[in-house]
Amino acid sequence: MTCAREVWSSPIFLRINVVITAVWAASFTVTAAALAVAGTLAPHATVPAVALNVAGIALPAVFTARYPGIVAARHGVAA
């Protein structure tokens, strides 16, 4: 998704990007911790490791796709 340069300094645009960045950072942190625990408890269990990695990417990706539209609707502006 792209947007015009004119909105780059908008408080709503900046807030959306701060929130999305925080969600990705939290997702990477939680995924790493979960993989560390899973690797300690079951070091050769591939399926849980793959599932954790997929969830760690898919969940924030879905959030990234949906969140700007939710904020835009809340504030009555075009996404």
Q: What is the pLDDT of residue 71?
A: 95
Give the pTM. Answer: 0.89
Task: Report DSSP letters for 34-68, one per residue.
Answer: HHHHHHHH-TT-HHHHHHHHHHHHHHHHHHHHHHH
The pLDDT tens digits of the residues spanning 32-52 come to 999 999 999 999 999 999 999
